[in-house]
Amino acid sequence: MGAGQVLAVAADADLGAARMQMALSLGWHIVLACFGVGMPAITLLAEWRGHRTGDVAYRLLARRWARAMGVLFAVGAVSGTILSFEMGLLWPGLMGRYGEVIGLPFSLEGIAFFIEAVFLGVYLYAWDRMPPVRHMLAGVPIVVAGVASAFFVVAANGWMQQPVGFTVEGGRITDVRPWRAMFNPATPPQTVHMILAAFMVAGFGIASVYAVAMLRGRRDRYHRLGFLLPFTVAAVITPVQIGVGDWAAHFVASNQPVKLAAMEGVAETGRGVPLHVGGIFVDGEMRYSLEIPRGLSLLAHFDPDAEIQGLAEVPPRDRPPVNVVHLAFQVMVGVGFGLLALSAWLAAVWWRRRELPRTRLFWWAAAVAGPAAVLALEAGWVVTEVGRQPWIVFRVLRTADAVNPAPGLVWGFALVTVVYVVLTVATVSVLRRLARDVPVPLAPQERDVSEYKVV
Amino acid sequence: MTLAELMLVVLWVGLTAYVLFGGADFGGGVWDLLAGSPVGGRRQRALVEHSIGPVWEANHVWLIFVIVLAWTGIPPVFAAVSSTLYIPLTLAALGIIARGAGFAFRKASTGLWRQRLFGATFAFSSVVTPFFLGTAAGAVASGRVPPGLAEGDLVTSWLNPTSVVTGLLAVATAAYLAAVFLTRDAQRGGDPELAELFRHRALVTGVVTGVLSAVGLGVLRADSPDLFDELTSGAALPFVGLSVLAGVASLVLLWRRAYLAVRVTAALAVAGLLWGWGVGQYPVLLPGMEVEDAAATDAVLAASLGALAVGALLLLPSLWWLIGTFQRGEQGH
């Protein structure tokens, strides 16, 4: 191997490491971000019910969740900061040229996050210094700002899928229309899909904890409500989310046909294309999959004879990896329908008997629902991001041209991985500890106030 | 003033806020590290935790604000700085994770060994993070980050005399600000003994920071004569003068136990240094790259600045309310 080849191999390894590092830190942060968006609303709902009914169980739950929220928000704040560093550390080729185009949504996100942090500080630390209604009002901006943050960040990602609002002349950006870039065509379906996903992850996630408690025989009112409230929020959103997912898929079909071809493993362009369930893509064709005739044409364009573009429409160097995207898409859709079935189960039992299901199978499924929702979330982002490859900005800039040319990114990735493993272990351990803790202190964060007057 | 200049001013205001507030939070970690044994240092650690707990996340957002404004307003500078300085900035980023997570985890933990483990993580990363951020600042100040992607030396750009002095100065500044702020917090919390302790520390770190600043100027003279000339004779001189005066005044006020007034002068001393650097280096951002070469298009600058102005209308009252709620808090008890 010549020196040039060695350098090229090292550069490939660095690109791979940069992509893995971004995937790791984004994939990690997104879970926290979902709780950051969804959990304040669920907590406020419990606090409001507790205030209206005087029910101790609701009031205890609100405090318990607020404590967990304090930990999750802190970790989310720092894991989110790393991402803004990494935009430059790993992808200076993207930020140096296009940073200004996506600067507006990030500036707005900064403001939203600031407001979130301010009101969270008040909400958590001044719980008992304020009358209940004022305290709940202090919680409302957290919800609004959290949802707004999600919107702005995903709008910036939408721009990477549908880059509009700028003109390049002679390799230099000459004209930017920042509002157009922010409200690019991908923004509406992507942001709505993500915000709903956040509420599902938070709702099913919190409910899972109480489903486990149910399995262990703790069926008192506190645990029942702890399950029912977040689960209901998530269950109501699930059917809506499946509709929105369909909208997002239609959008991809019309605007990123190569991504759709990878999601479905379509090699050649054709009409009346079948839907592939399962299977792997080998030697340019889909194998071992269950085929639903004309299914894809029908689903993607509401017409069984509609034309679907295949991967062959673009040269091999412009195609995303098929199997990863196909598998991730199947996982996301499968989990989504599984969660819908579980929600329907609870709804049916509740409608007939006004009580929670008794069978352990339901509680096992409910305990799995939280991790499953996280899995669907991650799978959905794999579809979005890996499906966009080899482009970092769709059809404008290749990922390989955006990466930091400095050598040794592999070592950075190794270091970051170690830190995230430790961080994961510590976070899980602390949250488990919090869940086992019996006394709830006066203000959720104040150790120095030990008196306990909720009950 | 052009939009690009206005953007730079806003960015520098954000940086100043981060150095003052975020810096003090890091300094709290430094004092946590030096508080001694778990039993003997309990009161100091409790004060640190009590003071920074409700506000550190909001203070931390200033950093995100600075980063975002940098890539929005001066994208090539952001790309050049982050690609050449990816080693110290990666280490600083990991330090930020360890700091925030360690702090939050310690609060939520019971049991001494957990609290010690997370507390040590919090405290150690509070020293390391400002150091690396400081070396990065020194790299830019001494002109070691050329435009382009990773064009500078990946190691010597931030391991050099100016960077090391700036890194140490950042740690000392953080510790100094924290000691000054904590003195008043301890006094208001009704613990005069603790207030005396932090007063003493503020005096010592104040002198150390002053000496380090002087050494830094000497290093700069050898290492980056252009910036040194600007700082000592050009437009930056008034800011440096203000910094020196405010620094001396702080020592006097501390000596006389005027704990509220010293907050203002200590902040002025630090801000003066920061603005002296900014004004001294203006309009050169990186060697061979001036503001007009780096600035984003006017449409972007106008939209972002407009959004920030509207955002500030929401944000500043909220921030005031947050700080007010907790600075007044103890009086109700």
Do A70 and B104 make contact, defined as CB atoms within 8 angstroms? yes
pLDDT at position A218, please? 86
pLDDT at position B34, please? 84
* Dist. CA A451–CA A331, nearest whole Å: 47
- A415: closest CA of chain B, how far (Å): 9
User: Measured between CB atoms, which of B58, B64, B89 is closest to A89?
Assistant: B89
Chain centroid to CA B255: how far?
A: 24
| DSSP label at residue A288 | S
pLDDT at A144 exceeding the cut of 60: yes
Tell me the chain B residues in contact with residue A175 when contact means C-beta distances shorter than 8 Å: 297, 299
User: Measured between CB atoms, which of A81, A104, A415 is closest to B64?
Assistant: A81
Question: What is the mean predicted confidence (pLDDT) over A335-351?
Answer: 94
pLDDT at position B333, please? 38
Q: How distant, in Å, are the alpha carbons of A348, B132, B210, B285 from that of B136?
A: 60, 6, 21, 14
Q: State the pLDDT confidence band at B100, using cuts at 50, 70 and 90.
A: confident
* Dist. CA A366–CA A371, nearest whole Å: 10
pLDDT at A449 exceeding the cut of 60: no
Of the ranges A373-377, B48-52, B116-120, the best mean pLDDT one: A373-377
pLDDT at position B129, please? 94
Q: State the pLDDT confidence band at A438, using cuts at 50, 70 and 90.
A: low
Tell me the chain A residues in contact with residue B81 when contact means C-beta distances shorter than 8 Å: 88
Q: State the pLDDT confidence band at B233, using cuts at 50, 70 and 90.
A: confident
Do B321 and A122 make contact, defined as CB atoms within 8 angstroms? yes
pLDDT at position A347, please? 93
List % helix, strand, coil for chain B (3-state, nearest 5): 80, 0, 15
* Dist. CA B57–CA A118, nearest whole Å: 8
Question: What is the mean predicted confidence (pLDDT) over A90-96?
Answer: 92
* Dist. CA B145–CA B78, nearest whole Å: 11
Task: Give the range among A137-141, B171-175, B187-191, B322-326 with minimum mean pLDDT.
Answer: B322-326
* Dist. CA A301–CA B315, nearest whole Å: 45
In order, the DSSP letters of B294-314 are HPPPHHHHHHHHHHHHHHHHH
**How high does pLDDT run on average in chain A?**
88
pLDDT at position A444, please? 55
pLDDT at A150 exceeding the cut of 70: yes
Q: Is omega for the bond preceding B38 within 30 degrees of 0, making it cis? A: no
Q: What element of type H or E holds A434?
A: helix A409-436
Q: Which of B6, B44, B53, B4 shows the shortest CA–CA distance to B25?
A: B53
B286 touches chain A (CB under 8 A): no
Q: What percent of chain B has pLDDT over 90?
A: 40
Question: What is the mean predicted confidence (pLDDT) over A294-315?
Answer: 87
- B274: closest CA of chain A, how far (Å): 22
Q: Which of B94, B219, B244, B141 shows the shortest CA–CA distance to A81?
A: B94
Do A176 and B101 make contact, defined as CB atoms within 8 angstroms? no
pLDDT at A454 exceeding the cut of 50: no
pLDDT at position A101, please? 92
Question: What is the mean predicted confidence (pLDDT) over A345-351?
Answer: 93
Q: Which amino acid is at B267?
A: A
In order, the DSSP letters of A297-361 are HHHHHS-TT-EE--GGGS-GGGPPPHHHHHHHHHHHHHHHHHHHHHHHHHHHHHHHHSS----HH
**How many contacts does A have with B, using Cβ atoms within 8 A?**
249
Judge contact between A81 and B92, C-beta under 8 A: no
Question: What is the mean predicted confidence (pLDDT) over A258-283?
Answer: 87
pLDDT tens track for A354-409: 888 888 999 999 999 999 999 999 999 999 999 998 999 998 899 998 999 888 89
Do A107 and B55 make contact, defined as CB atoms within 8 angstroms? no
Tell me the chain B residues in contact with residue A408 when contact means C-beta distances shorter than 8 Å: 154
Question: What is the mean predicted confidence (pLDDT) over B289-306?
Answer: 90
pLDDT at position A184, please? 93
Phi (first) and psi of residue A183, to 5 degrees? -95, 55
* Dist. CA B212–CA B175, nearest whole Å: 13
- Span between the terminal Cα atoms of chain B, in Å: 49
User: Measured between CB atoms, which of A71, A88, A126 is closest to B108?
Assistant: A71
Judge contact between A142 and A116, C-beta under 8 A: yes
* Dist. CA A70–CA A66, nearest whole Å: 6
pTM of the entire structure? 0.90
| Number of neighbouring beta carbons within 10 Å of residue A68 | 20
Of the ranges A332-346, A347-361, A423-437, B118-132, the best mean pLDDT one: A332-346
* Dist. CA B27–CA B24, nearest whole Å: 5
Question: What is the mean predicted confidence (pLDDT) over A92-96?
Answer: 92
User: Measured between CB atoms, which of A119, A406, A445 is closest to B154?
Assistant: A406
Scanning every residue of chain B, which has its alpha carbon at the shortest distance from the alpha carbon of A417? Answer: B94
Judge contact between A258 and A319, C-beta under 8 A: yes
B80 touches chain A (CB under 8 A): yes
Phi (first) and psi of residue A275, to 5 degrees? -90, 130
Tell me the chain A residues in contact with residue B76 when contact means C-beta distances shorter than 8 Å: 96
pLDDT tens track for A8-25: 777 888 999 999 999 999
Structure tokens at B234: 């050009």
Q: State the pLDDT confidence band at B329, using cuts at 50, 70 and 90.
A: low
Grouping H, G, I as helix, E, B as strand and the rest as coil, residue B286 is strand
pLDDT at A447 exceeding the cut of 50: no
Q: Which amino acid is at B120?
A: A
Judge contact between A164 and A181, C-beta under 8 A: yes
| Number of neighbouring beta carbons within 10 Å of residue A352 | 8
Length of chain B: 333
Do B100 and A77 make contact, defined as CB atoms within 8 angstroms? yes
Grouping H, G, I as helix, E, B as strand and the rest as coil, residue A161 is helix
Q: Is omega for the bond preceding A439 within 30 degrees of 0, making it cis? A: no
- A391: closest CA of chain B, how far (Å): 19
Grouping H, G, I as helix, E, B as strand and the rest as coil, residue B285 is strand
Structure tokens at B76: 């090539």
pLDDT tens track for A18-51: 999 999 999 999 999 999 999 999 999 999 999 9
Tell me the chain A residues in contact with residue B103 when contact means C-beta distances shorter than 8 Å: 74
ipTM score of complex: 0.88
* Dist. CA A176–CA B72, nearest whole Å: 12
Do A129 and B154 make contact, defined as CB atoms within 8 angstroms? no
Do B296 and A100 make contact, defined as CB atoms within 8 angstroms? yes
pLDDT at A437 exceeding the cut of 70: no
User: Measured between CB atoms, which of A107, A115, A407 is closest to B314?
Assistant: A115
Name the B residues in 40-79 with CB < 8 Å from any A CB.
Answer: 46, 49-50, 53-55, 57-58, 60-61, 63-65, 67-69, 71-73, 75-76, 78-79
Q: Which of A235, A415, A260 shows the shortest CA–CA distance to B94?
A: A415
Q: Residue A4: CA atoms inside 13 Å, Cβ hemisphere, count? A: 0
Tell me the chain B residues in contact with residue A99 when contact means C-beta distances shorter than 8 Å: 71-72, 75, 78-79, 296
pLDDT at A160 exceeding the cut of 90: yes
Scanning every residue of chain A, which has its alpha carbon at the shortest distance from the alpha carbon of B118? Answer: A426
In order, the DSSP letters of B99-123 are HHHHHHHHHH--SHHHHHHHHHHHH
Q: What percent of chain B has pLDDT over 70?
A: 98
B94 touches chain A (CB under 8 A): yes
